[in-house]
């Protein structure tokens, strides 16, 4: 992409009256922006900011508008007043945010909902229609907590993971081409602003506060001025859909989630590399590969420091010539023996322990996918939809047994993705553990149908003592209990009507479980919807509901009422948490957030004090109503055509596998 010229542009900055937001405004004016609009909740700070701007740049360069970004009407008023005053609007910096897990519902409303409202207003209306040049730009401010676990503020980390998911999904070329608005993101490192300096006790309690000085001591602080300068280069140069890290006052670097569908070709020949890329693109579509020239230092640098999970992997390709004499090619034999020799010592536990260089399911047809028709932002979005039925998919009964494997074997804090339904293979992971399901009591939210029902069935097949189905549908709950009784006999399951967004209703599920079965060992946070047309409710169920479950299980009921040495919480994410998905950016955000929550709550420190493992799995395309009834549940027709991309994914088939049944 070409350079985005800041000169003569009009920019809105949320949270712009202080901290980094104010520094962004000042740097934009230094770059000869026409004007900045400070949208902030504090009139006092806004007045001081305007005085500073007027002193440095003169009059008519800035206005302040008191704004609560969680209010769509107030946020829209900012755009309307900007256009009324300056005739145009070119840039939106979604900077407003708080780091305070003690008020986590408010934190989600500001950090996630506020960002979505800004994008919808800017991308779909005001910047698209009122930009002064050929391009507009939306910059979403995430955090380094949006790309790595932060155990002392796991919910804050979840919100910033969500911003990452929003950015790469709304930044896809198809959205840019129809709006000419770039959507990019930045992850500032630890920056000396009130957000950081006023951190004590802005968490979930003493156990979390103990972790704050430890984790804060691991990051390098930077001043807001130097961070803001670097962010200007992101605004000017970043392609749409990219996320950039600005840390330690150094130049920004691009952070890219490993493409679960992609390959990287490293070769000395640009010509052969280009030919290979053309072949791969002709077969699998664009943006699934790349060519790197040179040596990639995985063990002691890039994989060690930039792996997406707890472990990375280096596969050294040897040959049969590396285990037996071949007279024809003695030199080749020597190199392959050498590869064998390198692999054995570098693969020793000592190197693994210091680097962690050494698996997450695919797209599954559920009601989440199948019931999205007519639930989009506006009618013209629907034209982007394709039919999921066109793709080879998997059934929930195929997926569920492998989810049970994750329950039994996954270490705390890990996210599991399944490219094909048999990909979880615990025999090859030294870090795998063992959790015995037999005799355990499990709660499954959203457990009356779809994948949730099949998780419950598989748990009982594994001789779980009982399952508790928590769901909003009493009718489906009754049918599920009848099925359990037919297959497993009486007293193996109960149904409790529960809305997971209601903390008291969710807590009642735990209390009823304990009064009925005396224990609770497992929580599967499965309840979720796939419907961006009601995105506020989607966030409440998918994200707030998951947080309610983790807080109740980790900090109280599973911790105190588990029957054995360990308890387990399994958060159900989605394949949409592993790559940009233009069809449902709001849904993507919730599933990215679950990734962040799981990584942060799954750290060793939380496990050691609770003896509850927190893990996650990202099911692929599974045949449930979530998938089959998904048409028209997007932000509108312009989004629906992204459904065609489902046909390009390596989906899991209904039957057949190259894996053993116990993989």
Contact in structure between 657 and 422 (CB atoms under 8 Å): yes
At CA 437, angle to CA 432 and CA 441, rounded to 5?
135
- Alpha-carbon Rg for the chain in angstroms: 25
**Catalytic annotation, pick one of 176, 587, 607, 639:** 587
Same domain, 82 and 215: yes
Same domain, 240 and 281: no
Q: Give the per-residue pLDDT at 400.
A: 80
pLDDT at position 300 over 90: no
148-165 residue pLDDT tens: 888 888 999 999 999 999
Q: How confident is the model at residue 424 (pLDDT cuts 50, 70, 90)?
A: very low
Same domain, 554 and 588: yes
Q: Give the per-residue pLDDT at 213.
A: 63
Specify the residue for token string 């025999």: 427
Starting at the edge strand found earlier in the chain, the sheet holding 612-618 runs 415-417, 612-618, 567-572, 522-525, 441-445, 466-471, 493-497
Q: Is 587 designated active site?
A: yes
Same domain, 245 and 192: yes
Specify the residue for token string 């950016």: 585
Which of 110-114, 152-156, 650-654 has the highest average model confidence (pLDDT)?
110-114
Residue range 308-324: mean pLDDT, rounded: 51
Q: Which residues contact 519 (CB under 8 A, 6 or more apart)?
A: 440, 441, 465, 561, 562, 563
Same domain, 277 and 243: no
Higher pLDDT, 516 or 201: 516
User: Dihedral sign, CA of 146, 152, 154, 159?
Assistant: negative
The rounded distance, in Å, linking the Cα atoms of 428 and 404 is: 17
Same domain, 73 and 47: yes
| Virtual torsion, Cα 387, 280, 303, 230, nearest 10 deg | -80
pLDDT at position 420 over 50: no
Residue range 352-357: mean pLDDT, rounded: 49
In a domain, 429, yes or no: no
Q: Which residues contact 502 (CB under 8 A, 6 or more apart)?
A: none
Same domain, 195 and 282: no
Q: Could you tell me the CA-to-CA distances from 36 to 79, 94, 620 in Å, in that order?
A: 12, 13, 44
In a domain, 507, yes or no: yes
| Average pLDDT of every residue of the chain | 79
In a domain, 643, yes or no: no
Higher pLDDT, 443 or 351: 443
Q: Give the per-residue pLDDT at 384.
A: 44
pLDDT at position 566 over 50: yes
Q: Which residues pair with 185 in a beta bridge?
A: 140, 243
Written as six digits, the tokens of 396 are 């929930």
Q: How confident is the model at residue 321 (pLDDT cuts 50, 70, 90)?
A: very low
Q: How confident is the model at residue 131 (pLDDT cuts 50, 70, 90)?
A: very high
Same domain, 285 and 172: no
Same domain, 484 and 590: yes
Q: What's the farthest any 2 CA atoms get from each other in the chain?
A: 84
The rounded distance, in Å, linking the Cα atoms of 216 and 283 is: 46
Which domain-ending residue is among 227, 255, 283?
Answer: 255
Q: Give the per-residue pLDDT at 263.
A: 53
Same domain, 86 and 129: yes
The rounded distance, in Å, linking the Cα atoms of 616 and 305 is: 22
pLDDT at position 280 over 90: no
Q: Give the per-residue pLDDT at 552.
A: 98
Same domain, 125 and 224: yes
**Burial environment of residue 334 by CB neighbours within 10 A (0 to 12, 13 to 18, 19 or more):** exposed
Region of 205 (left: φ > 0; alpha: ψ -120 to 50; beta: rest) is left
In a domain, 645, yes or no: no
Written as six digits, the tokens of 126 are 């005001």
83-93 residue pLDDT tens: 999 999 999 99
pLDDT at position 341 over 90: no
161-200 residue pLDDT tens: 999 999 999 999 999 999 999 999 999 877 666 666 566 7
pLDDT at position 457 over 70: yes
The three-state (H, E, C) secondary structure of 566-581, written as one string: CEEEEEECCHHHCCCC
Question: How many Å separate Cα 408 from the centre of its chain?
Answer: 24
At CA 457, angle to CA 456 and CA 458, rounded to 5?
90
Q: Give the per-residue pLDDT at 655.
A: 32
The rounded distance, in Å, linking the Cα atoms of 601 and 612 is: 10
In a domain, 223, yes or no: yes
At CA 376, angle to CA 374 and CA 377, rounded to 5?
140
The rounded distance, in Å, linking the Cα atoms of 147 and 11 is: 27
Higher pLDDT, 240 or 393: 240
| Number of domains observed in the structure of the chain | 3
In a domain, 174, yes or no: yes
In a domain, 33, yes or no: yes
Question: How many Å separate Cα 492 from the centre of its chain?
Answer: 35
Same domain, 222 and 284: no
Domain interval for residue 510:
396-423+438-623
377-412 residue pLDDT tens: 445 444 445 433 333 456 777 678 777 777 788 787
In a domain, 365, yes or no: no
Instruction: Name the nearest CA neighbour of 409 among 442, 445, 437, 441.
Output: 437
Q: How confident is the model at residue 514 (pLDDT cuts 50, 70, 90)?
A: very high
We report the CATH number of the domain holding residue 587 as 3.40.50.720
Q: Give the per-residue pLDDT at 404.
A: 79
């Amino acid at each position: 992409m070409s350079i985005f010229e800041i000169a003569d542009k009009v920019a809105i900055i949320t949270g712009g009256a202080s901290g980094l937001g104010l520094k962004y405004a000042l740097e934009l004016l230094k770059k000869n922006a026409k004007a900045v609009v400070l949208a902030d909740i504090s009139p006092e700070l806004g007045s001081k900011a305007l005085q500073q701007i007027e002193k440095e740049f003169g009059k008519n360069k800035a206005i302040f508008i008191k704004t609560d970004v969680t209010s769509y009407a107030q946020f829209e008023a900012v755009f309307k007043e900007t256009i009324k005053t300056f005739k145009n609007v070119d840039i939106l910096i979604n900077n407003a945010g708080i780091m305070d897990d003690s008020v986590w519902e408010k934190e989600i409303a500001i950090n996630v909902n506020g960002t979505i409202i800004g994008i919808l207003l800017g991308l779909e209306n005001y910047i698209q229609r009122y930009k002064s040049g050929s391009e507009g730009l939306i910059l979403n401010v995430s955090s380094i907590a949006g790309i790595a676990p932060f155990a002392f503020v796991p919910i804050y980390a979840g919100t910033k993971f969500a911003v990452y998911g929003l950015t790469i999904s709304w930044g896809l070329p198809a959205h840019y081409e129809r709006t000419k608005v770039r959507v990019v993101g930045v992850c500032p490192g630890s920056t000396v602003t009130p957000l950081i300096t006023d951190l004590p006790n802005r968490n979930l309690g003493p156990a979390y506060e103990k972790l704050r000085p430890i984790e804060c001591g691991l990051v390098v602080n930077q001043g807001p001025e130097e961070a803001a300068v670097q962010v200007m280069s992101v605004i000017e140069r970043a392609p749409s859909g990219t996320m950039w890290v600005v840390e330690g006052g150094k130049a920004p670097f691009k952070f890219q989630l490993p493409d679960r569908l992609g390959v990287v070709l490293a070769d000395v020949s640009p010509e052969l590399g280009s030919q290979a890329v053309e072949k791969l693109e002709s077969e699998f579509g664009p943006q699934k590969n790349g060519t790197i020239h040179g040596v990639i230092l995985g063990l002691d640098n890039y994989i060690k420091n930039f792996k997406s999970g707890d472990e990375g992997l280096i596969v050294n390709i040897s040959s049969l010539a590396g285990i037996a004499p071949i007279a024809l090619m003695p030199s080749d034999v020597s190199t392959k023996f050498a590869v064998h020799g390198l692999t054995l010592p570098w693969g020793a536990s000592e190197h693994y322990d210091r680097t962690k260089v050494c698996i997450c399911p695919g797209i599954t047809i559920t009601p989440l996918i199948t019931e999205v028709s007519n639930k989009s932002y506006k009618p013209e979005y629907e034209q982007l939809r394709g039919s999921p039925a066109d793709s080879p998919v998997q059934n929930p009964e195929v997926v569920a047994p492998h989810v049970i494997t994750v329950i039994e074997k996954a270490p705390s804090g890990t996210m599991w993705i399944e490219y094909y339904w048999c990909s979880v293979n615990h025999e090859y992971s030294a870090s795998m553990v063992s959790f015995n399901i037999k005799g355990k009591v499990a709660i499954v939210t959203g457990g009356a149908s779809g994948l949730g029902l099949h998780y419950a069935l598989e748990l009982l097949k594994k001789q779980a003592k009982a399952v508790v189905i928590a769901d909003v549908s009493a009718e489906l709950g009754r049918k599920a209990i009848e099925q359990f009784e037919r297959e497993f006999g009486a007293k193996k399951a109960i149904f409790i009507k529960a809305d997971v967004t209601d903390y008291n209703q969710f807590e009642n599920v735990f209390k009823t479980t304990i009064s009925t079965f005396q224990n609770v060992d497992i929580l599967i946070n499965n309840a979720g919807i796939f419907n961006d047309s009601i995105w506020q409710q989607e966030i409440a169920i998918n994200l707030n509901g998951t947080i309610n479950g983790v807080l109740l299980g980790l900090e109280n009921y599973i911790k105190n009422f588990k029957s054995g040495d360990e308890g387990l919480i399994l958060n159900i994410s989605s394949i949409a948490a592993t790559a940009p998905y233009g069809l449902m950016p709001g849904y993507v955000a919730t599933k990215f957030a679950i990734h962040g929550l799981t990584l942060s709550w799954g750290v060793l420190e939380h496990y050691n004090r609770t003896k509850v493992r927190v893990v996650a799995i990202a099911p692929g395309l599974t045949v449930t109503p979530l998938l089959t009834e998904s048409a028209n549940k997007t932000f509108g027709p312009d989004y629906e055509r992204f459904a065609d991309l489902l046909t390009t994914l390596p989906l899991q088939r209904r039957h057949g596998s190259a894996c053993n049944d116990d993989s």
